[in-house]
Amino acid sequence: MKPSFRAQLIERNPGEPEFHQATQEVLETLAPLLAARPEFAEAKLVERICEPERQLMFRVPWQDDSGEIHVNRGFRVEFNSALGPFKGGLRFHPSVNLGIVKFLGFEQIFKNALTGLNIGGGKGGSDFDPHGRSDSEVMRFCQSFMTELHRHLGEHTDVPAGDIGVGGREIGYLFGQYKRITNRWEAGVLTGKGLEWGGSQARTQATGYGNVLFTAEMLKKRGEDFDGQQVTVSGSGNVAIYTIEKAQSLGANVLTCSDSGGYVVDEKGIDLELLQQIKEVERGRVSDYAERRGASARYVAGGRVWDVPADVALPSATQNELDADAAAVLVRNGVKAVSEGANMPTTPDAVKLLQAAGVSFGPGKAANAGGVATSALEMRQNSSRESWSFERTAEELATIMRGIHTTCYDTAERFGAPGDYVTGANIAGFERVASAMLSQGVV
């Protein structure tokens, strides 16, 4: 892309560094595609894809248990619907702002396109923090949030899901308010629902499982598999826990997990049952894990898991957690593959360093697409009033992840960048969306 467009993009979207980073990462890989498909440039598809179809920001007033009134901001960026209804999660976290939501929504366009399913890209959320709030407070917030957002949703229009801070509890409250206002039992309007009322088997596991499946395909191209590999995982939330579970099931020794306070390294391998008890039941810290695990585990306050030597690294916490310094340490310690379970956890300089060193790198828009893919499978089941088994859903997920890997690998080969999954993912995702936009006219 011309530097003038990059400058214009930054000028039009001031104070949004994450969005600038996400767009830059895609745009700098598109030159071979635009040379091969000049009609994309003529139709200004790059400019159009970088501008959301709709940006919503609204007031969310709610009352806590003591009667005090609070006011938060709600967001929904409906970015691109060329392939289907807008699809992407809702994030409730104090860090949420318009730039964060736009970065996530932009990534979601191409992630969803890579699944091969008919879903567009969007994202939303609020700067509300559910941590430490009672169920009643969370319910009142969710009801206020949905009272405004409901008018923009629908199974053929925009279908949110969960993300950080939005789990089964929040999805339930949001769905209840949507049903109350619209007088419609429209199961396909939200995904991540409870299994007893329209949810999908394997949705909880899907993002972590999918990243491991994608990484397994990258290792296969190197003539290897997960068996016996030393693996580091960051985070200890939903994605990290099921990344650990799937990697262990394939024979890996997972050494680490982390939270905002620091990380644990467990030479015997993470005890998943203990970690789930502490994080999912007790809502404790990884430091508690180290205390209860015994001599094999040690807790490092304020440290980073990337200092631990590993064959495979799977960042599964948050954006920009793996920088160039950490990447250099991983390379010195002989890492073979890095794959993103979180959204954009690796900085651009770190990505370049890893690729230059011959490390197989799986970008999040490809590697962590398992979550949204399974959400789309949930929508399919809702449309036909079906409920699939865990085994069927897991097999569908595995097929989709293998397909995403093949698409990225083959596209990179086709455009002269063999083994570059970033280029492959960006071009393949962009090409599918741009072709649909071209067919639909100037809309």
User: CA–CA separation, 355 vs 189, rounded Å?
Assistant: 40
Tokens of 174: 């949001």
Q: How many helices (H) and strands (E) does the chain have?
A: 18, 13
User: CA–CA separation, 330 vs 325, rounded Å?
Assistant: 9
Best CA proximity match to 316, nearest among 370, 385, 273, 384: 370
Q: Confirm whether 123 is a catalytic residue.
A: yes
User: CA–CA separation, 229 vs 244, rounded Å?
Assistant: 13
**Strands 256-259, 262-266: pairing kind:** antiparallel
Q: Based on the number of CB atoms within 10 Å of its own CB, is 16 exposed (0-12), middle (13-18) or buried (19 or more)?
A: buried
Best CA proximity match to 142, nearest among 131, 160, 128: 128
Q: State which amino acid sits at residue 82.
A: A
Q: Which of these is catalytic: 102, 123, 336, 365?
A: 123
User: CA–CA separation, 88 vs 76, rounded Å?
Assistant: 10
| SS3 category, 168 | helix
For the annotated catalytic residues, the residue numbers are 123
